[in-house]
Amino acid sequence: MSFINIDGIRREFALFREAKDLVYLDNSATSQKPDCVLDAVRTFYEKENANPFRGIYELSERATNAYENSRKTVADFLNAADPSEIVFTRNASESLNLAAFSLGELMVREGDEVVISISEHHSNMLPWRSMAERKGAVVKYLNCGKDGGLEPSELEKLMTDRTTIVAVTAMSNVFGKLNDVKALAAIAHSKNAVIVADGAQSVPHTKTDVRDTDVDLLAFSGHKLLAPMGIGVLYGKKELLKKMPPFLTGGEMIERVSTEEIVYSEAPHKFEAGTVNAGGAVGLAQAIKYLEGIGMENIAKREHELTEYAMNRLRMVPGITVIGSPKAEDHNGILTFKVENVHPHDVSAILADNNIAVRAGHHCAEPLHRFIGIPSTTRASIMFYNTEEEIDRFIKCVSEIRGLMGY
């Protein structure tokens, strides 16, 4: 794996320098943060901290510039047509709540249909369900295949002329399977529906091109992409954002307000009520620059190699079943598995005793777990900065679990 200097990369993370014994395989929950991201946030607060947009003094202007430059970095990263297509939020969940509330107000009438998939994270399921309840709309579920993938032809069959919105994940946080968002978007558009993609898992691991896939809205969180917690993104096509009403209201999102009328600002500002997370946005921009410095193609390649290395070994362990596709290339760093007769919480507790961090439970995808008939699973999730030695330790520990439990 000479295309990536893994030792050098690991030295850029304080956590890996200090917690040498830790094997961190819970990257789908959140990623670790390199020094340059933490430094960028610190520098913002040391040198540029004032309330953006409020003051006309130099420091406030510097804060505004830092925030708006970060928006431009995100727009370029996604290949958006314009920085105004980037709305900063707290996280993917807030982005999806904004999308569901605002699109619901804009275009959903009683009896209309919203299609979501059964493999959605609760963050891309509950906002649509609560909006549908409010509007008297119908939620329809697109089932996934055995590999966790969504079939565009199945979407086509499910849609009717009452379907106004399709909201689907670009990559399942349980299966790791990337969906063909471009094909799903083409189907949605052919039926005049708007398509919203949840990119929380896809954006950190693959190259994203919103103009190529032609999604109308795309949500993701900074913290899964080396950035701080508390900063997220909703990308939206300019024309659509223009029509969408605000989600939260308050300071700095209006043109003017009197007791009689409110005139909202243009997008993206009408969606960013109150003091913004400028430090978080700066951290996100730095994280993107760091990832681009390594190269998103190199990151995907490295993660594919590590996934294959881990999956080939995991499947050899007696009593282990990996959920989803038998092909490593369909997992994109996510290996969700069952250990025969051992509860996932025991699996993760034994791993934790060995200083190996994974996640157990339904991974905020309870309807999906019901659909596949397994109440809970254990998930190891890999990022480019993981090493083969870490995978070896994880596999060794997993292979001992059934013995430790008396099987």
Residues near ligand PLP (CB under 6 A) are 28, 91-93, 121, 123-124, 169, 173, 198, 200-201, 221
Q: Which amino acid is at 342?
A: V
What minimum distance in Å lies between the beta carbon of 383 and ligand PLP? 14
Nearer to ligand PLP, 169 or 307 (CB): 169
Rounded Cα distance, 258 and 266, in Å: 18
Is the four-CA dihedral 136, 244, 286, 81 of positive or negative sign?
positive
**Taking the complex as a whole, how short is the minimal distance between the CB of residue 232 and ligand PLP, in angstroms?**
6
Query: Of 32 and 173, which CB lies nearer to ligand PLP in the complex structure?
Result: 173
Sign of CA dihedral 131, 134, 136, 139: positive
Q: Which of 36, 144, 364, 397 is catalytic?
A: 364
Place of tokens 């003017």: 256
> Distance between CA atoms of 338 and 336, rounded to whole angstroms?
7
- Cis upstream peptide for 268 (omega within 30°): yes
**Under a CB-based contact definition with an 8 Å cutoff, are residues 218 and 171 in contact?**
no
- The residue with tokens 């529906």 is 193
Q: Which C-beta is closer to ligand PLP: that of 188 or that of 233?
A: 233
d(Cα 320, Cα 307) in Å, to the nearest integer?
Answer: 16
CB closer to ligand PLP out of 121 and 313: 121
Residue 247 burial by Cβ neighbours in a 10 Å radius (0-12, 13-18, 19+): buried
Would the CA dihedral through 159, 80, 220, 244 be positive or negative?
Answer: negative
The distance of closest approach from Cβ of residue 259 to ligand PLP in the complex, given in angstroms and rounded to an integer, is 37
Query: Do β-strands 377-381 and 334-339 pair in parallel, antiparallel, or remain unpaired?
Result: antiparallel
**CA 365: distance to chain centroid?**
14
Specify the residue, 124 or 378, whose C-beta has the smaller distance to ligand PLP: 124
Helices 296-316, 278-294: axis angle to 10 degrees equals: 80
CB of 30 vs ligand PLP, minimal distance in Å:
8
Smallest distance from ligand PLP to CB 96, Å: 7
Output 174 or 311, the one with its CB closest to ligand PLP.
174
Which amino acid makes up residue 89? T
Between 364 and 397, name the residue whose CB sits nearer to ligand PLP.
364
Shortest CB 407 distance to ligand PLP, Å: 31
The CA distance from 380 to 394, in Å, is 9
- Closest approach of Cβ 72 to ligand PLP, in Å? 23
**What is the C-alpha separation between 14 and 197, in angstroms, rounded?**
33
Task: Give the rounded distance of the alpha carbon of 204 from its chain centre.
Answer: 7
Give kind and range of the element (H or E) at residue 17.
Answer: helix 14-18
364 classed as catalytic = yes
Rg of the chain, C-alpha, whole Å: 22
Catalytic residues: 364
